[in-house]
Structure 1
Amino acid sequence: MTMPDTSQKIKRDPERTRQRILAAATEEFAERGLSGARVDSIARRADINERMLYYYYGNKDQLYTAVLEDVYLAFNRAEHALNLDALAPLAAVSALAHFIWDYYAAHPELIRLINNENLHEARHMHESPQIRALVSPIVDMLASILKRGEASGEIRSDVDPVHLYVTISALGYYLMSNRHTLATVMGRDLMAPDARSAYTAFNTQVLLDYLRVK
């Protein structure tokens, strides 16, 4: 019996192959970090041979950078799908914050990859202008919301959009990054639906109370 030639299928559909490799590499790097991840394991997950993986992505570090770019691109696309211009300024900030916190909760692999990249002092992100370009537009969007709020008299005039974005991100990131240790030392699962809902409401109130013109 003649076995199907999978290499021909791969050659006919290179984009699908790239996505399979990226999906497999995302799982491997998120689970094991850059140092612990193995190229042969990624190849097995993607159901290809290692030679094909190197053909598409060069080496392990280049593949890792491609994974970082891919997860940030997915995050960026989801952010830009929000219709924040249709909302009043404070409601727009709240909607953006809730989106970011929900996205982190739904994509723990993003948190793990960021944690790992911080261990490597963001070396791969420094080498990727694409990642920086993906983050800047959402900060610009937030700056526009702040300007609208300032003009309408709803939002104070001294808010730095970068500081605000970092704070919004941190409020969701810290919970996801430290949820296991927090559950142990606090004796409370902050990711349980009721607890997470209460935590979201608390953080939202903190943000809006700071932004409002007193």
Structure 2
Amino acid sequence: MPATSPAPRLRDADKSQLVILSAAMDEFAQYGYAGARVDRIAERAEINKRLIYYYFGNKDDLFLAVLERTYADIRAAEQALHLDEMDPVEAIRQLVSFTWHYYLDHPEFIALLNSENLHQAEHLKQSDRIQEMNSPLVAMLAEVLERGRKQDLFRDGIDPIQLYISIASVCYFYLSNNPTLSTVFGRDLRTPKALAQRLSHMKDLMLGYVLK
């Protein structure tokens, strides 16, 4: 009888890890790191709990793997925008719009970041990949800003990291604090009209900063 090829076993292992990561992402997003339970992750994944420990070590390592996957997903989606091929002004508009819609479509991203910030980024500090993951985004935005400067459209001396933090912040704060903001101001800030107004405002805000 011929020996079993290792390829199917590798594919099964990859599939199992992806299923576990997906289930873990849902669990951590719903309950936070502190409230998440490995037993429930195993139930969500319909997999033996021992496999979770086999592939990911412990709960801390699993949470870090989820965070790294979350960042890898958004960074890959940003790279797919090809901002370096756009007019610089349009590139800034597109980055703001993309960030806004990504947060809207992936509420788990905000939930996971909230949880990790509560823990003072103690898991991300253990990552040897996270800074490398974010470097292409910084380089891409720096290239857009430099082209805009050379075309006499953008101001000199704009820090791409500061700009990205500002874009992420104005998107993140509005959504993560929407229940309290809506209550305090007596306005439903999640209606389609309110969301469209917010996006328009954020684009104007960012362009008002970068344009000469």
Q: Quick check: TM above 0.5?
A: yes
* Structure 2 match to 1:174: 173
- Tell me, in whole angstroms, the C-alpha distance in 1 between the residues paired with 2:210 and 2:56: 45
Of residues 201-210 and 114-123 in structure 1, the stretch that sits farther from structure 2 once superposed is 201-210
Task: State whether residues 84 and 143 of structure 2, in contact with CA within 8 Å, keep that contact through their aligned partners in structure 1.
Answer: no
Task: State whether residues 39 and 49 of structure 2, in contact with CA within 8 Å, keep that contact through their aligned partners in structure 1.
Answer: yes
* Structure 2 match to 1:199: 198
The 5 Å alignment of 1:24-173 reads 24-173=23-172
Task: State whether residues 84 and 140 of structure 2, in contact with CA within 8 Å, keep that contact through their aligned partners in structure 1.
Answer: no
1:186 aligned partner, one-letter code? F
Task: State whether residues 96 and 202 of structure 2, in contact with CA within 8 Å, keep that contact through their aligned partners in structure 1.
Answer: no
Query: Aligned Cα RMSD in Å?
Result: 1.4
Task: State whether residues 71 and 133 of structure 2, in contact with CA within 8 Å, keep that contact through their aligned partners in structure 1.
Answer: yes
Distance 1:119-1:112 versus aligned 2 partners, 3 A rule: same
- Tell me, in whole angstroms, the C-alpha distance in 1 between the residues paired with 2:44 and 2:9: 15
Question: Gaps (5+ residues) in structure 1?
Answer: 1-8
Task: State whether residues 10 and 17 of structure 1, in contact with CA within 8 Å, keep that contact through their aligned partners in structure 2.
Answer: no
- Tell me, in whole angstroms, the C-alpha distance in 1 between the residues paired with 2:122 and 2:156: 35
- Tell me, in whole angstroms, the C-alpha distance in 1 between the residues paired with 2:135 and 2:178: 28
* Structure 1 match to 2:4: none
Task: State whether residues 89 and 148 of structure 1, in contact with CA within 8 Å, keep that contact through their aligned partners in structure 2.
Answer: yes
Of residues 193-202 and 84-93 in structure 1, the stretch that sits farther from structure 2 once superposed is 84-93
Distance 1:63-1:144 versus aligned 2 partners, 3 A rule: same
Alpha-carbon offset, residue 11 of structure 1: 7.8
Alpha-carbon offset, residue 27 of structure 1: 0.5
Alpha-carbon offset, residue 85 of structure 1: 2.2
- Tell me, in whole angstroms, the C-alpha distance in 1 between the residues paired with 2:18 and 2:95: 28
- Tell me, in whole angstroms, the C-alpha distance in 1 between the residues paired with 2:80 and 2:39: 36
SS at match of 1:167: helix
- Tell me, in whole angstroms, the C-alpha distance in 1 between the residues paired with 2:197 and 2:208: 16
Of residues 201-210 and 65-74 in structure 1, the stretch that sits farther from structure 2 once superposed is 201-210
Percent identity, aligned pairs only, is 45
SS at match of 1:129: coil
Distance 1:154-1:15 versus aligned 2 partners, 3 A rule: same
Question: Gaps (5+ residues) in structure 2?
Answer: 1-7
* Structure 2 match to 1:3: none
2:145 aligned partner, one-letter code? L
Of residues 203-212 and 102-111 in structure 1, the stretch that sits farther from structure 2 once superposed is 203-212
